[in-house]
Structure 1
Amino acid sequence: MITEKNIDSVERSTKAATPTSEVTKLNGSNQAYHLDVHDLDRVQRRLKQRHVQMIAIAGTIGTGLFLGSGHALQGAGPLGALIAYALVGTVAYASLCSVAEMTTFAPISGTFPHYAGRWVDPALGFAVGWNYFYINAISTPSEISAAKSHVAIYTALPLAAHEGGRWFGEVSFFSIAEVALLTISLEVSLILALLLSGLIIDLGGGPQKDRIGFRYWKHPGALAGAGLVSNINTDRFLGILTVLVQAAFSFQSIELVAIAASEAESPRRNITKAVRRVFWRIFIFYILGVIVIGMLVAYNDEALLDDTGTAAQSPFVIAMNRAGVKVFPHIINAGIFTSAFSAGNSFIYCSSRILYGLALRGQAPRIFAYCTKKGLPLNAGCFALLSFMTVSSGSETVFNWFVNLSTTAGFASWFSINLTYIFFYRGMKAQGFDLKRNAYNNPWQPYVAYWGVGWNLFFILVTGFDVFFNFTAADFLTSYLNIPIFASLYIGYKLFKRTHIWKPEDMDFITGIPSPEETETPEIPPKNIWERIAGILF
């Protein structure tokens, strides 16, 4: 059994020769599980703290706040939307804590799909990896489709940002990252401006000097019904249930920060900072955003009910138009554009790195493990070309089915992350590792992970519950087809490779995991006030 006495050996050597031989005896064939791909991994640690923050924020703050919050307000009312977003926020927090602790312990390519295969079952790692790759591969156009016009241009921009490294090398890598960081900064600034403007207008500071307060919480009311049953209280509960799915979709991709582990400078320190900062920023933006729009717009507002899919449907735009501020629709359109670019960048980055990690360990064709001299897994990003399906009206309907499928797939990823952490926790305890020695440790674990497992299983089951009130085969399939797909990936790989679920004493916490001495560099203290401010922001 590998115990904490082996920690010193892993700190001295990445390959951990002595523990590896012990693990080989336990596993039968260590090579068969591809636990050590250190010599094959060609990505480079060049992402700084601000780039890690960019990746973490970009995938989560976007059209979910600008447009999705309006759907939530319409579906459940201001109080119902607030309840839904607050509850889902705790589930997102559970998933983030779980993946952060595993990532800071093992900052290697493949991240949580590899952790699932390493500490739960190789078949689960295969299923989670392809499931998560699929989510990110099609999430780029799902964000871009909100722009409606010039979709081809918006689609091409993040693709060019990723593929540009092939021709422009290291200079292009950093310039692209800085441009993406700038778009995130503008996006966050826009959200803060909208929240502040909304509060000012609500308090009577707008051109019309109308103090709104909580007027719309009283009429038409704090809770809206789903329109599915005649009983008012039951229908309001179903309304909240509907918005839970919308809120969960908005919070999905909060775990993207873990993907950068193998390419981040000082990953244990920087990812810990990113996790502690990013969640609270996102949580506050969404919770405050839902509160503000609930005060400014009635859930039965005609403009809110008009399903245009453009900035005109944003509750922020509706509120500003009602208050006589006419410039905001153009500003929101700019926000949607920057969201398309920044989110597209993050999703393409993450889908390529997940596929790269699968290829490294023999769970995807080896061609996707190819890296340029600058550490760019170029071939692994080619599937993002599917984004151009949104340009063709004939294939848009089919593509939207895939987007709907990704909702359940996202819940499955969160479920798997928390489940993997529970196994990780059991194995670490069984082998005598001190979890408090990790760079990131949540004192509420493993109960936080149990919370995440339970609620994500619930989300998976209720994702398309409303289809049973007005059944159509297409809606049913797009809501639940991902369940048998995920199960088929798991069972098929398990039967073909004859894998087994790891016992706590047999889990490998040594092989191929770099020591802190190998990854961490001394932190440089800020030299002036501007560097202090930048350190707080990023």
Structure 2
Amino acid sequence: MYNEKDHSSEENASLEKGVSYDTTGPVGAAVVKDERYHFDASDLDRVQRRLKQRHVQMIAIAGTLGTGLFLGSGKALSTAGPLGSLLAYALVGSVAYSSLCSIGEMTAHAPISGTFPHFSARWVDPAFGFAMGWNYFYTNAISVPVEITAGQILITFWDTNNGHAAIYTAVLVVLVCLTNIFGVRWFGESEFIFSIIKLILITGLILVGLIIDLGGGPNHQRIGFQYWRNPGSLNTRSDLVSNVGLGRFLAIISVLVQAAFSFQGMELVAVAASETESPRRNISKAVRRVFYRILIFYMLGTLMTGMLVPFNDPNLLHETGNAAESPYVIAMTRAGIHTLPGIVNAAILTSAFSAGNSFLFCSSRILYGLALRGQAPRIFTYCTNKGLPIAAIAASSLFTFLSFMNVKDSSAQVFNWFVNLSTVGGFFCWFGINLTFLYYYRGKKAQGFDRRKTAYYNVLQPYLSIWGVTWCVIFILINGYDVFFSFDASDFLVAYINVPIFIGLYVFWKVFKRTKIWKPHEMDFVTGIPSMEETETPEIPPRTFLEKVAAVLF
């Protein structure tokens, strides 16, 4: 069997130019014949497993709950109506779930740095992994200043002085960067606390919403489902009132991209696998529970907003960027509750900070993984003695300064272009994850591996991945459909520029390195991947009542 320690890191730099494999080994495991080009840099991987089980589980449960759900649900409601927004969130949620199941199984097999861009390079094509990695790095890096800006706008709920915007932005930039620079344990603890706050917030909002809907508010007005009857369950585009069917359909389409923004980031638990204690066990638990998270928090939350506020409420169209535009706050104000909105805004502020924190973590780890495999400058592999990829974090932190562009009106439009350019990147991420799983599935089947022996596998595969790939392609194509009703060159460019960028990255690396698409019998599922004994610690069964409760929650 091939020993990865027999060759230097220079010899093991990449899979770039094709390798001949012998699949006659045990269980069909691939053995490299031409060892010069093997893609194994595990001996360079210096990160350490400092994220604990409770960190990973709380990140999985509430990691993506943020401004997209708390504030964006109002815009979705006003655009498509209560039923339309619910259908859009359900569809995008199913695609997000398929992506997480796919990356969960691949990560349970190989909990290593680089995560799905490395999987794409290892089991699809090194050029595809290169395109995936840089696309995901860019998408996350540019999302950090977006969340910082969202946090600064949330502060205007208490301080409307625009002259203070730069100060608040600077404070948030420093805090986000320091949280990541202090180490993964600080990141884990902060996300643990923020996730608890977000869980309390969304649970409290749903309960308060239900109480108001049933007439338990100060005004004692019972709402029920009356807004589903009047003004109705579906809204239509204002310019297509003469064609109601088409107008309603396009209104739902408009919500899809916004709904996707609420779900993006679920793959964080897989990105953190190389720094997680007992990653196979903990990632498996996290993925298994995500279905219920989507069902309870996203679907129930979206249903509740449609019950509380009519889609033609003028307050939904008043974009303040803070809690004042939340359907829950609108419902509270109308019901006579005046104390909670400020508390809600404070909790949403922590969710914006948490999201920026997570995006910076993801972008730095992806950059580190790319450098580790020779697809980014080698300087970004530098780690401290405690396993912190400080060079990658420093480079990713530079993007936070883009948030200052939104302080002045003269550069705000340019900043918004950056924001729009990053939104489709999430669709490419999900597309690549699901496509990589289909290759992974074919390779394991061809080489005689039993997927049921992996720490996590889903019986619905590969159909989940096929569903995810299909819908991601559709999402990418329809993302900018609105521009064709009133064509504008800049809007068209912003909506679709990610397509040539992704293809350009793929073609560049393929031509530059002369890579090839791996055949099922050529895929390496063994080398450089730690065994169960190397990554997993013995699981201690809970003994006391509190430990049993913690085991259920975490």
TM-score, structure 2 normalization: 0.90
- The one-letter code sitting in structure 1 at the alignment partner of 2:399 is L
**2: CA distance, partners of 1:238 / 1:278:** 29
1:150-169 map, 5 Å:
150-165=168-183
Which of residues 37, 46, 53 in structure 1 aligns to 2:41?
37
**1: CA distance, partners of 2:425 / 2:283:** 24
1:442-457 map, 5 Å:
442-457=458-473
Which of residues 378, 393, 398 in structure 1 aligns to 2:390?
378
Which of residues 219, 228, 241 in structure 1 aligns to 2:230?
219
Secondary structure of 1:254's counterpart equals coil
Which of residues 67, 73, 78 in structure 1 aligns to 2:77?
73
Distance 1:107 1:206, change over 3 A: same
**Is contact 1:252–1:410 with CA below 8 Å preserved after alignment?**
yes
Aligned twin of 1:129:
133
Aligned twin of 2:401:
388
Query: What displacement does 1:142 show?
Result: 1.7
Query: What displacement does 1:516 show?
Result: 0.7
1:422-433 map, 5 Å:
422-433=438-449
Q: Which moved more, 1:367-376 or 1:277-286?
A: 277-286
**Is contact 2:59–2:195 with CA below 8 Å preserved after alignment?**
no
Aligned twin of 1:269:
281
**Is contact 2:383–2:389 with CA below 8 Å preserved after alignment?**
yes
**2: CA distance, partners of 1:195 / 1:154:** 29
Distance 1:117 1:453, change over 3 A: same
Secondary structure of 2:305's counterpart equals helix
- The one-letter code sitting in structure 1 at the alignment partner of 2:526 is I
Distance 1:497 1:176, change over 3 A: closer
- The one-letter code sitting in structure 2 at the alignment partner of 1:120 is V
1:368-517 map, 5 Å:
368-382=380-394, 383-392=396-405, 393=408, 394-517=410-533
For residues 160-190 of structure 1, the C-alpha deviation after alignment (integer angstroms, 9 at most, x for no partner) is: 101124xxxxxxx534532331121011101
For residues 269-294 of structure 1, the C-alpha deviation after alignment (integer angstroms, 9 at most, x for no partner) is: 00001111234214420101111110
Aligned twin of 1:170:
none
Query: What displacement does 1:152 show?
Result: 2.5
- The one-letter code sitting in structure 2 at the alignment partner of 1:237 is F
Query: What displacement does 1:131 show?
Result: 0.3
Structure 2 residues without counterparts, runs of 5 or longer? 1-20, 156-167
- The one-letter code sitting in structure 2 at the alignment partner of 1:317 is V
Query: What displacement does 1:309 show?
Result: 1.6
Which of residues 325, 331, 334 in structure 2 aligns to 1:313?
325
Identity among equivalent positions (%) equals 62
Aligned twin of 1:182:
193
**2: CA distance, partners of 1:282 / 1:341:** 21
Say whether residues 1:210 and 2:221 are aligned partners: yes
- The one-letter code sitting in structure 1 at the alignment partner of 2:452 is K
Aligned twin of 1:333:
345
- The one-letter code sitting in structure 2 at the alignment partner of 1:160 is L
Query: What displacement does 1:219 show?
Result: 0.9
- The one-letter code sitting in structure 1 at the alignment partner of 2:442 is R
**Is contact 1:132–1:354 with CA below 8 Å preserved after alignment?**
yes
Which of residues 291, 295, 320 in structure 1 aligns to 2:303?
291
**Is contact 1:60–1:253 with CA below 8 Å preserved after alignment?**
yes
**1: CA distance, partners of 2:401 / 2:61:** 24
**2: CA distance, partners of 1:331 / 1:245:** 29
Distance 1:432 1:2, change over 3 A: farther
- The one-letter code sitting in structure 2 at the alignment partner of 1:529 is F
For residues 20-66 of structure 1, the C-alpha deviation after alignment (integer angstroms, 9 at most, x for no partner) is: xx32x2xx4x4435x21121100011211122124434541100111
Query: What displacement does 1:5 show?
Result: 5.1
**2: CA distance, partners of 1:116 / 1:303:** 45
Secondary structure of 1:501's counterpart equals coil
For residues 476-523 of structure 1, the C-alpha deviation after alignment (integer angstroms, 9 at most, x for no partner) is: 111100000000000011011000000001111111011111111110
Distance 1:31 1:64, change over 3 A: farther
- The one-letter code sitting in structure 2 at the alignment partner of 1:144 is I
**1: CA distance, partners of 2:412 / 2:389:** 29
**Is contact 2:27–2:448 with CA below 8 Å preserved after alignment?**
no
Query: What displacement does 1:417 show?
Result: 0.4
**2: CA distance, partners of 1:290 / 1:515:** 42
For residues 220-239 of structure 1, the C-alpha deviation after alignment (integer angstroms, 9 at most, x for no partner) is: 11000123433011100100
Query: What displacement does 1:154 show?
Result: 2.2
Distance 1:443 1:267, change over 3 A: same
Which of residues 52, 55, 60 in structure 2 aligns to 1:56?
60
**Is contact 1:216–1:298 with CA below 8 Å preserved after alignment?**
yes
**Is contact 1:77–1:222 with CA below 8 Å preserved after alignment?**
yes
Query: What displacement does 1:361 show?
Result: 0.5
**2: CA distance, partners of 1:492 / 1:164:** 36
Distance 1:126 1:259, change over 3 A: same
**Is contact 1:355–1:368 with CA below 8 Å preserved after alignment?**
yes
Say whether residues 1:231 and 2:216 are aligned partners: no
**Is contact 2:147–2:353 with CA below 8 Å preserved after alignment?**
no
Distance 1:387 1:175, change over 3 A: closer
Query: What displacement does 1:308 show?
Result: 1.6
For residues 354-382 of structure 1, the C-alpha deviation after alignment (integer angstroms, 9 at most, x for no partner) is: 00000001000011100000010011112
- The one-letter code sitting in structure 2 at the alignment partner of 1:199 is L
**2: CA distance, partners of 1:56 / 1:145:** 24
Which of residues 184, 192, 202 in structure 2 aligns to 1:191?
202
Distance 1:50 1:82, change over 3 A: same
Distance 1:395 1:373, change over 3 A: farther
**2: CA distance, partners of 1:38 / 1:279:** 32
**1: CA distance, partners of 2:538 / 2:298:** 35
Distance 1:175 1:390, change over 3 A: closer
Distance 1:154 1:3, change over 3 A: same
**2: CA distance, partners of 1:368 / 1:55:** 26
Which of residues 73, 96, 109 in structure 1 aligns to 2:100?
96
Which of residues 134, 144, 151 in structure 2 aligns to 1:140?
144
For residues 422-464 of structure 1, the C-alpha deviation after alignment (integer angstroms, 9 at most, x for no partner) is: 0000000000101111110101111110000000000000011
1:323-362 map, 5 Å:
323-362=335-374
Aligned twin of 2:257:
245
Secondary structure of 2:49's counterpart equals coil
Which of residues 502, 515, 518 in structure 1 aligns to 2:534?
518
Query: What displacement does 1:402 show?
Result: 1.5
- The one-letter code sitting in structure 1 at the alignment partner of 2:222 is R
